[in-house]
Structure 1
Amino acid sequence: MKINNKFRITLISILSLCILFIAYLVFTPSFPFHVNVQSGPQPTFIMIGKAQVCYIPFQEITNIGFWLNVIMTMPIGGFLLLLNAHKVRFKWILITGLLTGILIESTQFILDNTLNGFMRFVDINDVISNTLGVIIGLYALKLLIIILMRIFNK
């Protein structure tokens, strides 16, 4: 799928706004609205410095917070597909998703240890859900494009 430069600039601008919104959600000490994200079992945390760290994977898969993290990063996967004119390889989708989650969680870890009372949890499950969100976002948009092309080519 070829895109022209104006459309590419528009997509990059929208992606930048999306990243700013994600940053607002993950780096503000409290959510702008109340959501009970711990609807399932309580995860096991350890303290590393001033940061609470959940290091056990898949411990929160039944919590709504896990799935909200998936939804939050789905647009990044969609933008990967739209901005890349040639075929996107699964390896790069996986790496982008992992780097997204690792960047968010490591920044939260640093902020927890440098700012008193930042109170964001560092969680391996968030890295997993962010990675899953990027992957699902790309393939969901790819599926939507295929469906729309079949509908409008009839």
Structure 2
Amino acid sequence: MIWFNNGILMLIIPIWILIRIFINIKNKNFSFKREFILSIFFIYILLLISKTLFPFTIRSENYWNRRAINLTPAIETIKMFNDAFSGGRNYMIKFAFINVLGNLILLTPLSFFITLLWKRFRSFKHNILFCFIISFSIEFLQFFTDMRTTDIDDVILNTIGAIIGFYIFKLFEKLYLRFFTKDNNKDKIVA
């Protein structure tokens, strides 16, 4: 994972910037603000992939016998907290909170950025459905890796986080329109 973060990210980000410059060289409606936000979104996507899927190694034969999937909502999360608090181990309590909060905030930026950048995701239904599909896809792919487990609680928490991201955008939009609106179409962020 360290190699992916340092090596690939350092290679992909300059390539992304060059591609965006090439695409926008003749674009008369170029918006620096939109390009900046797209670049931040791209970096977020790279980090999301890095955090959820790498290192990506295919399961070994003896790993298939271990339980690597949880399809019962909330049971494993409740059990994780119960075990952590009943054992009195601070590191387990910390792990339980980090796991839940991490899954809650994992797709919050995704929901916010897609709502900010593309009008079709201003619809609550389209936004949350897209984020749900992304979360489900991540969990599905994690099923085939050695280092990850597939958990329905992660999908639920990711989707709740996406809902939070959608409403953070709505709040941001109201504040932005109230305090920073200009009649300058060149500064548009949304495509």
Question: Following the alignment from structure 1 to structure 2, what is the Cα–Cα distance between the partners of residues 105 and 73?
Answer: 13
- How far has the Cα of 1:141 moved from its partner? 2.2
**Whole-Å Cα distance in 2 between the matches of residues 131 and 13 of structure 1?**
24
Aligned equivalent of 2:70: 54
Cα displacement (A) at 1:83? 0.8
Question: C-alpha displacement at 1:54, in angstroms?
Answer: 1.1
Kept in 2: contact 1:96–1:131 (CA 8 A): no
1:1-150 aligned within 5 A? 5-6=30-31, 7-28=33-54, 52-59=68-75, 60=77, 63-64=96-97, 65-85=99-119, 88-111=122-145, 118-150=146-178
Deviation (angstroms), 1:51: 5.7
Q: CA deviation at 1:127?
A: 0.8
Q: Whose Rg is larger?
A: 2
Per the alignment, do residues 17 and 49 of structure 1 end up closer, same or farther by CA in structure 2, a change over 3 Å counting?
farther
- Percent of residue pairs bearing the same amino acid type: 31
Q: Name the aligned partner's letter for residue 137 of structure 1.
A: G
Which secondary structure state, in structure 1, belongs to the residue aligned with residue 122 of structure 2?
coil
Shift of 1:56: 1.0
The count of aligned residue pairs is: 127
* Pair 130,5 (structure 1): closer, same or farther in 2 beyond 3 Å: farther
CA shift, 1:87, in A, is 7.0
CA distance in 1, matches of 2:53, 2:175: 36
Q: What SS does the corresponding residue of 2:68 show, helix, strand or coil?
A: strand
TM-score in terms of structure 2 length: 0.57
How many angstroms apart in 2 are the aligned matches of 1:8 and 1:27? 28
Distance 1:48 1:124 in 2: 19
Equivalents in 1 of 2:180, 2:34: separation in Å? 23
Q: Which runs of 5+ in 1 are unaligned?
A: 30-46, 112-117
Aligned partner of residue 38 in structure 2, secondary structure: helix
Give the drift of 1:152: 5.9
CA distance 1:68–1:84, shift in 2 (3 Å): same
1:13 maps to a residue whose letter is S
Taking only aligned residues, the RMSD between alpha carbons, in angstroms, comes to: 2.6
1:79 & 1:146 partners in 2: Cα distance? 16
TM-score normalised according to structure 1 size: 0.68
Does the C-alpha gap of structure 1 residues 77 and 87 become closer, same or farther in structure 2, counting only changes over 3 Å?
closer
